[in-house]
Structure 1
Amino acid sequence: MCDMNMSSSSRDLTTRTTIQIVTIQMTYYGPVLLLIVGIFGCLCNFLTFTSRQLRQNSCAFYFLCASVFEFFSITFGLISRLAADHLGSNLQNTNRFYCKFRAYLVSAIPLIATYLILLSAVDRCMSSSTYACLRSFSRIKNAYRSAIIAILVALISCSHILITYDLRPRCSTLVGTYAIFDGLFVVFWLGVIPHILMLIFGFITLLHIKRVRQRKFMEIPIDTITTSNRSVARPSHKTERQLILMMLVQVGLSSLLTLTRMIYYAYYILGPPLKGYDKMIGSFLMSFTTLLYYSNYAKSFYIYTLTSRLFRTVFLQRLRKCTEAIFHIHRLSIKTT
């Protein structure tokens, strides 16, 4: 009986040690990998969406702006987390200014990127509509205004973090009722609400596409095709179709990754306090879902590359031109020397 108890306690100790090692390795190598993959992808997105073919497209503009804020999300969020977890930085718990602004920026910047992807879903929903008044929303001029409004809403809605976060003695928010509000704010305002809206607009876009295809394949004599019939076929344009596909896949994966994180975050923050072995498992799952959360902001280039031939073509063209320009400058510098 004593041997059985010793064997059980030995297995338990081995399991705990394994979980601790896996958690440490995951929180070190995971952010490093996401930084490399994410920074490369965001730079490639910037190169592609600034091309002449996509520069004046409203949906591509939202993707471009989202890539910029995704870049800031992964660089600031992951580097500061990596520094705190493995590089011995304690700035977050010793500097009041850094405590407040880190808490603010790690919420506001990802929220801006999320809103811009939401706007791309709204844009594709409108552009695929059979009503001209709704399709008029998908103009680059409107995209500029909408992006500015989204950025302001995100920055203002997160401003309460600057007031409530402070050194207590570690960097944390107010305790009590506000702590519950802060948890609900993160779960719903930063996660559930924008992604539910993305899914709704994505579903409506699919309905619009189905309706357009039904009209397109109706037997209409050539001489009776009116201007309005031609405008209905607009979403079948190659660029529009591929941007819709990019948006749908982006929205689907973004919702899966972010909502997985938010569901567990809600349980971890708002649920009963974890103790002992459960606390260790909870810490592992929190670290794992945090990596899923940041992978959401590192994935877009790879999604666009896999789902869109147009994106691949434009990216390779831009890459070729940049390479040729670099070699040309290099040759000129050699000749001058």
Structure 2
Amino acid sequence: MSSNVTDLAKQISGIITTDIGLFILTTGLLGNILNIIVFLSLKTFRETSCAFYLTSASFANLIQLVATLFSRILITGYNIDLTQTSLFLCKLRPYVATIAPLMSISSMCFATIDQFTSLSIRWRHFNQRYIAAYLTIITLIFWCLVNIPVIIYNNITMASTNPVTWACSITNANFSLYYNRFYISFLLGFLQLIIRIIFGLMAFINVRSLRNNQVPIIRLERDKQITSMV
């Protein structure tokens, strides 16, 4: 009886994960693609370094959706898990799934800081697209190097013996602790939240102060739109 209930719960969970996951995947892909089109096609945004960061974040979000959500839908909804049989995919998927959100969050933090500095006369000279490009590349290289242990410590292990099943998981206890306590809680949670709140509020205050200055209406509306995004 209990096994039947467990199987039914798994089936319901799989259906919910698949349906909701497909909806989130579709809307997420569409939304990020539209963001990229807008930021790259409109001259008003294309010339700003903040829009460059937002474009980078959208690209990272696309990769994250494919690497995490799409593969999760295949695993849960259709029982297709190539990471159980391919060591390459077992190491590649978590590696990409780790770097993509870090790049997205880093880009959003840079965008928030950039929008604040763009509204400050003292720091405005740092708002250059080439600086944004260099900073994005350096950040990508940094996260790729820092997260090499993800490749090392993710391996295919035996999940159960009766029946014999395999799973791709972290095989080092210390790294697992780092991943759960520092990566998820601190990097993806606390740190980026504090940065975006502080600089976002300061950017919002600066945008409101622009109304009292003689600022072109196009720039004022652009800064208001970008500030609301970050």
The equivalent of 1:152 in structure 2 is 141
Distance 1:102 1:167 in 2: 13
The equivalent of 2:161 in structure 1 is none
Tell me by how many angstroms 1:127 deviates: 1.1
Residue 168 of structure 1 aligns to a residue in which SS?
strand
2:59 aligned to which of 63, 68, 93: 68
Distance 2:221 2:175 in 1: 50
* Cα deviation 1:100-151 (Å, max 9, x = unaligned): 111111111121111111111011111122xx23111222222112221222
Residue 133 of structure 1 aligns to a residue in which SS?
coil
Tell me by how many angstroms 1:174 deviates: 2.7
Report percent identity of matched pairs: 23
Distance 1:205 1:22 in 2: 45
Distance 2:47 2:210 in 1: 24
1:120 aligned to which of 111, 117, 124: 111
TM-score by length of 1: 0.58
Distance 2:74 2:203 in 1: 42
User: Which is bigger in relative contact order (C-alpha 8 A, separation at least 6)?
Assistant: 1
The answer on whether the counterparts of 1:108 and 1:154 sit within 8 Å (CA) in structure 2 is yes
More strand by share: 2
Tell me by how many angstroms 1:82 deviates: 1.3
Residue 180 of structure 1 aligns to a residue in which SS?
helix
Q: Report which of the two structures shows the higher radius of gyration computed on alpha carbons.
A: 1
Q: How does 1:269-288 map to 2 (within 5 A)?
A: none
Does residue 1:27 correspond to 2:26, yes or no? no
The answer on whether the counterparts of 1:104 and 1:161 sit within 8 Å (CA) in structure 2 is yes
Distance 1:177 1:71 in 2: 30
- Paired AA for residue 105 in structure 2: T
The equivalent of 1:83 in structure 2 is 74
TM-score by length of 2: 0.82
Distance 2:13 2:79 in 1: 17
The equivalent of 1:172 in structure 2 is 169
* Cα deviation 1:16-65 (Å, max 9, x = unaligned): 78865552222110121122112222221222111133221111111112
Q: What count of residue pairs does the alignment treat as equivalent? A: 218
The equivalent of 2:98 in structure 1 is 107
The answer on whether the counterparts of 1:107 and 1:190 sit within 8 Å (CA) in structure 2 is no
Q: How does 1:176-187 map to 2 (within 5 A)?
A: 176-184=173-181, 185-187=183-185
